[in-house]
Structure 1
């Protein structure tokens, strides 16, 4: 990742260990959803109901469920992964209100790199991706605004985003069709404008959106009073894009909950959910705050301080995030978390750094990549992502 000011002056050049093959794979989340969906369809007992709107969540002493199209569907528990606009949240916090704006919105696009590759003015973004074994990311930081441009799939695809002050009221739509010319107006006085413009003007109009970056303050608990409804992902802890961890932490949530329920057994569902929360809560909250810190570093930049220490602009790359195996941790720590649930000593997580440690450290190294054989091989994931179509965007909206 290369981080520059609005003139294009380079301040930070990072190898972005933690985002490469063997210990992470940059990809389109819609396509990743397709991979998960196709795999889940092969599992016995897994059912999907696409195109159904959840009208309500409910629970009793012995079960929990949802109401869809007037039908009550019951289960031992409900794991509510219904996003930042979560309807389930009111059953946990009592607050069913809308999320509030973070004060910022983002233009965003993702598209095939072919047009970028054929124009000499935009080809700079694809430099050194010819072998299809690396990607590039450039960040340009201005006055309360930043732009990020990059490649994915070894230069086969291009993405860009521009985070800017939000000028619309929270009561209005949270997502709009975006226009490249509107985005460029925000950076019209940047010396680097021609270089950025050459790339973003290649965006297919239907691929550009402008959406609010919404926020919810951390909850005291992710579990309902009845103990059978649990929030995960953005429903529990919505992340700003500058965290770089929204999807990753949602996956950690899901894996941890699945393992906790497996180990707790059907007769201890409530305790299993509480144990999962103890394993995840402090880690998720700390990483959520880091997104705000990075946004502020790029929007309220002290350039004099950056001149003395360019690391102030870096995207955090701590080993405690990237060198972490959430599955192994859940299996190893479950008994301790369960004892705390049952009235024993309070659980002390060690999936977060000590208080006296810089949590934004850049200490992750490639050699720390997770080698747990239980995890899917990165090359297999790449293979499946290569087969995923643009239908992933549709599936993402329906899952």
Structure 2
């Protein structure tokens, strides 16, 4: 044990990063619990499919609506304070929901409003938290630091959190929310120990400009920077194809693979386990393969995943594919974050990160709508075939840029 911690968290990353990592892991567990508990609470209040689907809608709408402004705030003000205030607002909403549930007074509208407010606070907390790592660790250590953060996201948010949330919900509707309250408070206490260097404008720059001007500044920087521009376009386009295919994953699991009601949960679990393997192998991979080539390999894997899933009707073939995709998703996520953080100046981290977020969620939303239309008219496999074809075209167009993207970071 005495050698395990320094190996996993090298001392050069610093004490403040350890506090940040502990806070991130703690809040990720709470977010994973909430991901399962939120829809379950709404479903316990109504059987209307449209209202139940609103719980899912409210998980991705706030980043699209508030993401750019969250980036402006994180580049204007004390970033640690923003994280603390956003999480304090989450606590207020969670406390209100717990009180209403305990009194039997929570309505469907109240639950949806509460979930929307929590998701909105998370936009500001998450955007700002993503700017802290490059402030705390040397750029050469960003690969290691981001891999450690992603480990917590996969194991706690995706793998452990949802089943814990479901179990707590079965014990009583308030318990998932109470648990999340405790974890949010713990995360606030941990992040309050982080010591940040100064960031933001120089003394020669005006203290405050309009939010629109600052958003435009971040967008222009992305457009003018070849590596980050390519990275954002890649995320946007590949999330269009990913969203088209994954939007019908529940139906794919039951109708094409014949896995029944447990299929979707099994796919999610297998993908998360793949992510854990990607976590374990990431240091070995980055020591032997450049970040640019990792991105090439990853997008090739994603393209072939769509093809494999379009072709197969066997769970024994599909589940290993989902396992490989889970490993790829971790490696891609860590690599793209590292490339972006290395390239972006500190005072622009929030705004450029918010542009990246818009590309992520914009691609998913548009792709999901397209996938639903394809599946309705041409069958469950159609979105996977279209995702494969689209990925092939874009991969060919992007291929020459990917080996250079990780080096254009100044």
TM superposition score normalised by structure 2: 0.26
From the two aligned structures, give the one with the greater helix fraction: 2
